[in-house]
């Protein structure tokens, strides 16, 4: 799944399994269950589940200011 940080950033939260995340500069990250990764504004990434995985995408929050979740929940499976 292609992701973009948009104008305010995006937080990927791994709910189950492991998400393989490759950000725009080619660096790979493994986001495991219970962890999250914040994509900065304007950045791009590709997310893929390793096996069966679930993630939730939320608007990023900064310095104690909470932005309501964008309520997108995806179950990811690798193909």
The span from the CA of 72 to the CA of 63, in Å, is 23
**CATH number (domain holding residue 16):** 2.60.120.10
Domain span at 60: 2-77
Domains identified in the chain, total number? 1
Is the pLDDT confidence value at 24 over 90?
no
**Cβ distance 13 to 50 under 8 Å?**
no
Provide the H-helix boundaries in the chain.
none
What does the pLDDT read at residue 74? 52
**Which pLDDT tens digit goes with each residue over 44-71?**
999 999 999 999 998 876 555 444 444 4
* pTM assigned to the model: 0.73
Mean pLDDT in residue range 34-43: 89
Is the pLDDT confidence value at 76 over 80?
no
The closest alpha carbon to 32, from 60, 55, 4, belongs to: 55
């Amino acid at each position: 799944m292609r992701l973009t940080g948009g104008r305010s950033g995006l937080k990927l939260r791994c709910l189950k399994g492991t998400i393989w995340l490759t950000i725009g500069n080619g660096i790979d990250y493994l986001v495991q269950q219970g962890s999250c990764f914040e994509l900065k504004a304007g950045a791009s990434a590709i997310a893929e589940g390793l096996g069966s995985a679930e993630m939730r995408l939320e608007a990023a929050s900064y310095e104690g200011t909470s932005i309501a979740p964008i309520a997108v929940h995806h179950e990811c499976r690798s193909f």
